[in-house]
Amino acid sequence: MKAIIKTVQRITYLCLSIMILSCETDVTNDIDLKQSPPKLIINGGLERNSKSPLKSQQFQLTTTNDFLSKDPNPFVSDAQVSVTDGTTNYIFDYSGDGIYINDELEPTTGSTYTVTIKWNGEVYEGSDTLNEVAPFDRFFAEFQEETVFSDEGYTLKCDTTDPANVDNYYYYRVYRNGEFVIKPDPGNSQILITSDEFFDGQKRIGAEINGEVTFKVGDVATGQQLAISEGYFDYLFELFTQTGNTGISFGGNPPPATIRSNVINMTNPSNRAVGYFYTVDVAEDKLTITDE
């Protein structure tokens, strides 16, 4: 599960880095940068993975730093954290490095989960619904020549059947030799996430699982198709779109607008958290790349 936390962290740090690059001009002599109170950051959520069941559910809490600080985001070690499915309340215990863990919660599809975080005299709450994922009918790698948009190598593909008459939203993750891989790209909002608006109920043949990531012979390649909620889809779309359209092209675009979290401060609504509390169902497969 720590790999999942690191995956979310890498996406967050990648996007934050792109934001910073997009406004690299020195403005400190022109603007009086005031120190803002730290905001709570939530990294992670609940994941159901029938192929590789998780030993525990966990996520990490940190806080924002001063605008010009180069230090890592401080860990939150004194929060009270719980998650409920409306019937059972699960307490998450602190285990170090800002990570809160529970060994008893086994997410089930169709359930709505609500996280409650009590910290710094305030109460935060956020909810998400766990939707069932369509499994892989076939999982394979295919060689591609170098193009303007991608490197030479093997890319992951799958055949999968989308459930009919249900609004489905998907997010794709790939791992190379156990390490999560993502490239900063303005097209991530189209490459990494999709809805079934144009293929509801259809069988998808040779669908790419992040086709911008290539593998070489001998690599262990893992691909995941995640069923996500509409709310998390909208959050990721905005995240990838805004951070991709600035910083990559250095086109002088303004910094991205604040991307709203689904974790609301019930005590002080104007002091919202950063990040997203998500629930996902994961279809996963892996293979070793060969030249056969």
Surface-to-core class of residue 75, CB atoms within 10 Å of its CB (0-12 exposed, 13-18 middle, 19+ buried): middle
Per CATH, domain 2-129+228-280 is 3.60.15.10: no
CA distance linking residue 184 with residue 86, whole number of Å: 38
pLDDT confidence bin for 216, thresholds 50/70/90 = very high
pLDDT at 122: 98
Q: Are 216 and 151 in contact (CB under 8 A)?
A: no
pLDDT at 256: 44
Whether the predicted pLDDT of 199 surpasses 80 = yes
What is the average per-residue pLDDT within 52-78? 89
Domain boundaries, the chain: 2-129+228-280, 136-226
d(CA 76, CA 98): 5
Most confident of 23-32, 123-132, 174-183: 123-132
pLDDT digits (tens, 9 = 90+) for 27-36: 444 444 456 7
Gap between the Cα atoms of 70 and 67, Å rounded: 9
Query: Which of the two residues, 217 and 30, has the higher pLDDT score?
Result: 217
What pLDDT is stored for residue 10 in this prediction? 57
**Predicted local distance difference test score (pLDDT) of residue 249:** 30
